[in-house]
Structure 1
Amino acid sequence: MRKRALFVGALLTASILLSACGKSSSTAEPQPNKGEENGYEPVTIRLAYNLPQDHHISIGVENFAKTVTEKSGGKVKIQVYPAGQLLSDKEMNQAILTGGVEMGVNSSTLWASTVPAMGIFDVPYAFPNHETAGKALSGELREKLNKAMEEKGVKVLMYADYGYAQFANNVRPLKSPEDFKGLKIRSIGDIPSEMIKAYGASPVFLGAGEVYTALQRKTIDGATSGTTAMLQRHYDEVAKYLTINNYSYLEFILAVNKNFWDRLPEKTKHLLTETAQQTEQWIRAKAKEEDERTAKELAEKGMEVYVVPESDLPKWKKAAQPAREVYIERAGDLGKELLDIVENIQ
């Protein structure tokens, strides 16, 4: 296992060095047309992601890769490296930008450090329901975000809906923003951290794999994440209270190095785009199902669940205003435009 890990690491390092010199890895370079009957030119594309393999996004991504390979008759081959096997979430974006890997799946929260406008999905209560998110990502918001990403050298192929972020904790039910006061809460990004501070708590940055132990040892009082992750990572064993307030609609981005994308034949681009669109719709529908299923299962496993009434949400949103202001400050005019687009969706 150690030898294999060393080999994969060496392969990635070599790829990044070759890309930095303006060259392409031998696996990534589209080959000349050999006159195949189906018209696809041979190419191997590496795709990395960090989510657990049984997560609905992972299932969708694996099926995307399988479908592309099958429809191309094996000519467009996508090699998938799951669950952080090739790259950590912190390494992912830079590897995609440099061409160290051709494709990768990472959170919009982490992409916001490259394109601040991508933080729109972290703005508290910007997306009141799954349907709003779907409509927003079918129009102008998507176009503007895609353009901003392409200006940085990345082609967005798919927006994969993770679902809503919620709060788990061990101290007390969080029935109002005031209940957060004095707590230490694991955060998932800069904008959510601003909201946590606005509610009177202290944000703590931890990797997803560290949260269980931190809750168990009481080095943190609570954490924010999606209920899908909470169930998979067994939060019910180390946290008593769950608050459902749907404050952030988490997105993961299937991104492609743009230089690599631009060299692909149009037929291959069409296949990748069409399959990604179909996969995106499946993942979006699945996200809503999984949010509902996992919240119910966490309750069945013993967590005390409090669902914030819709009538109380304006109070939660008002208290989170500082986080919204930080987003506008960082994302500028584009950030304001995106918020206007979302708020005007009917």
Structure 2
Amino acid sequence: MKRIKKFYLAAMILIFVIFVFPFPPIVSSQTKTSKPLILKFSHMTPATGLQPEYLKRAATEVEKATEGRVKIEFYWSNSLVKVKENVRAVQKGIADMAWTSASYHPAEYAIALASQNVLYAPKGDDAYFIVQKYWEIWDEYKPFRDEVEKWRSTAWFFFPYDSYGCYAKKPIKKLEDFKGLRLRVSSEGIGKMVSAVKAHPEFFPASEVYTTLEKGIVDGAICGYEWGKRYSFYEVSKYLNLLNACMIGCGYGIVSFSALNKMSEKDRKVFMEIGRRFSLEYGKAVKNERLTDIQAMKDKGMILIPFSEEERKKWAELPEIKALIPNWLAQEEKAGRGEAAWGMMKIFLEKFELSHLMPQKKDKSFN
């Protein structure tokens, strides 16, 4: 009987302790009391301009939406690694996120170079349209995703690059005006486009364009209008030739699988949603400011030189330009990427209303 009384007494004491002094809650790795996950983002440009502005906005939204559990820390102007090392830096964990593109990383993103074989498109000047279509291709075409994801990363943000102009020391009104000019280009594909009109392509990263123009290393530079305003190309070139050609594509803001795996499922979902949403908002901003950027450079003293649709069509009809797509497909076939490259070119041309440029191929379906 005494044992039973002792048992009940012990039980009552235990119940009293539980209710009066409750155990502390289990703290997960994603609570406010733990250290935030800080993601290192490697970017090649300075922290000024429209693209950095929208990246910083997205980072602020990530921190807010995750209640401080996930933060993005930017390393601008190649201060973490050089731009051409970005893909592998993310793979190795040196960076968690980075700006990348097929132009700067052709070995890593081979089939994405499909876009570099098209001189211009009907909506090539619409950055919002471009980023929309890239997200559609990403969602619909698995080999595109596979090419990025084999490096242990995935797309978080698309940076649209709408059709380019040419900043130069002389006006370019006709194809003949290109002859003999040394022109900065950002990719092999654009290099072939200017070679077709007897210009001499020179590759320099965007961060070096101002210096190459200033020192006369090149006679002109083919690049975007927002870049021209951001980096004050009006200080080192007299003419802004409105080519509206040579570029339809996107760079990628990538994030490593390792970084994503450190987030809770909830934070990972909201993180990815924010990247996509802000990339679309950035595309709208680039589109809306395109004419404003051009006008701003005119106000700084640049002379605007229109390039007619007739001249663009003549350019597109040159044998060297018409050969770009079939030659690239043949090259990819030899490299063992024929089927994936064919499918990438097909969906790219469809999305950008250029299906008539797709060569015919018998006996195989690449849907």
Q: What's the TM-score, normalizing by structure 2?
A: 0.76
Distance 1:59 1:182 in 2: 38
Distance 1:152 1:69 in 2: 26
Q: 1:136, 1:142 within 8 Å by CA — same for their partners in 2?
A: no
Ranges in structure 1 where 5+ consecutive residues have no aligned partner? 1-31
> Which structure 1 residue ranges, 4+ long, deviate > 4 Å from structure 2?
none
Partner SS for 1:253: strand
Change (3 A) 1:237 1:41: closer
Q: 2:164, 2:223 within 8 Å by CA — same for their partners in 1?
A: yes
Q: How does 1:136-155 map to 2 (within 5 A)?
A: 136-140=133-137, 143-144=140-141, 145-155=144-154
Q: How does 1:182-261 map to 2 (within 5 A)?
A: 182-247=180-245, 248-261=247-260
Distance 1:111 1:263 in 2: 27
Cα deviation for residue 155 of structure 1 reads: 0.8
Q: 2:31 aligns with which of 19, 29, 36?
A: 36
Change (3 A) 1:160 1:337: same
Distance 1:238 1:220 in 2: 11
Match of 1:27 in 2: none
Structure 1: which amino acid aligns with 2:288?
A: E
Change (3 A) 1:244 1:186: same
Distance 1:135 1:169 in 2: 31
Q: 1:53 aligned to 2:47?
A: yes
Cα deviation for residue 120 of structure 1 reads: 3.2
Q: 2:226, 2:286 within 8 Å by CA — same for their partners in 1?
A: no
Q: How does 1:3-22 map to 2 (within 5 A)?
A: none
- Residues matched between the structures, number: 313
Distance 2:215 2:94 in 1: 38
Partner SS for 1:168: strand
Q: What's the TM-score, normalizing by structure 1?
A: 0.81
Deviates more, 1:255-264 or 1:233-242: 255-264
Q: How does 1:301-316 map to 2 (within 5 A)?
A: 301-316=300-315
Q: 1:343 aligned to 2:349?
A: yes
Distance 2:132 2:29 in 1: 42
Question: Identical aligned pairs, as a percentage?
Answer: 20
Q: 1:48, 1:103 within 8 Å by CA — same for their partners in 2?
A: yes
Change (3 A) 1:207 1:150: closer
Match of 2:359 in 1: none
Cα deviation for residue 126 of structure 1 reads: 4.9
Change (3 A) 1:115 1:211: closer
Ranges in structure 2 where 5+ consecutive residues have no aligned partner? 1-26, 354-367
Cα deviation for residue 183 of structure 1 reads: 1.1
Distance 2:285 2:136 in 1: 21
Change (3 A) 1:255 1:143: farther
Q: 2:165, 2:222 within 8 Å by CA — same for their partners in 1?
A: yes
